[in-house]
Amino acid sequence: MDYRFLGRTGLKVSELCLGTMQFGWTASEELSYRILNAAFDAGINFIDTADVYSRWVEGNAGGVAETIIGNWMKSNTFSRHQVVIATKVRSRVGDGPNDEGLSRVHIVEAVEASLRRLNTDYIDLYQAHWPDEHTPIEETLRAFDDLVHQGKVRYIGASNYPAWRLTEALWTSEHYNLTRYETLQPHYNLVHRAEFERELADVSRKYSLGVLPYSPLAAGFLSGKYRKGEVVESARAGRANRYATERNWALLAQLEQTGIDKGGNSISQVALAWLLSDPLITSPIIGPRSLEQLKDNLGAVGLRLTQVEKKLLDELSRWEET
């Protein structure tokens, strides 16, 4: 497994990050442990979660994925420093008026709950899940800054931030000498490029942020299981079907051909390699729901596209200003 620096931090993380949104949702607790063990044994040291996973499932109060990860770490013999744990705060996790958002009161309460569920005394990367328009950014950053100085959090990051809010946060940290966001977690893949590339890519490059794309396989559309005219039974089929256009069918065909040309790589491996071939990208967040999917995703580690291969995929998936 190859490793990369997480933005400006001294943390070295695996090329692929294991996402856990599926834990307690489309992956049972037992299967989640098996996925965690297999990923760790394969060299993945970077695990991403959130306190809200998976509250949208009936009977799930949230915090399930964090609890599974915490129990897994407690039951293993490796040292805590061998894994980099990233989690998020912002979503509603209770029924009280302050049980969501990025206010000081919610962040202080939420981090303690996450630490308990994760069975750890520190979080490597604590991320704002998305902006909170009702809380001044200075209040949010001061709360994060306190957690870093207390040793409960090592670094902070942002997820789902538009470029102007991300820049505002970075400038606020600089102005008040506060801990700054070191990473960005954007929605980014071959069929969803404009949101990141329009402005966020330049901000990330300028401020040396680690970039952790989520949904790198477009809710499974880039996994290879979707074919024109065929119906796929999947919990994420509704999200994936929005990408079913003539243009994207042509893209899938080229991904398949590129994989063949490279010696037998799958569509999903080539789609992940497209991200990994960009020096701006740190670690795409994969979300395997089975050991077979994990094994396939791991085939992208170390895989790189030539300039010609990447340019062809760039052209097939290019976006236009509107």
Kindly state the tokens that stand for 39.
């990923």
Q: Rounded to an integer, what distance in angstroms lies between the CA atom of residue 118 and that of residue 27?
A: 18
Sign of CA dihedral 98, 100, 104, 108: positive
Between β-strands 46-48 and 123-128, what pairing exists: parallel, antiparallel or unpaired?
Answer: unpaired
The answer to whether the beta carbons of residues 140 and 102 sit under 8 Å apart is yes
> How far is residue 259's CA from residue 70's CA, in Å, rounded to a whole number?
37
| 44: nearest Cα among 23, 8, 15 | 15
Q: Is 82 exposed, middle or buried (0-12, 13-18, 19+ CB in 10 A)?
A: exposed
Read off φ and ψ for residue 130, nearest 5 degrees. -160, 165
- What does the alpha-carbon distance between residue 34 and residue 40 come to, in Å, rounded to a whole number? 10
Rounded to 10 deg, the angle between the 267-276 and 246-261 helix axes is 90
Active-site hit among 3, 33, 53, 161: 53
CA 123 vs CA 50, 69, 88, 115: distances in Å: 12, 12, 10, 7
Residue 74 near residue 113 (C-beta atoms within 8 A): no
Give CA–CA dist 181/158, Å, rounded.
Answer: 6
126 counts as catalytic: no
Show the tokens assigned to 319: 């976006």
Q: Are 118 and 126 in contact (CB under 8 A)?
A: no
- Catalytic residues, by residue number, are 53
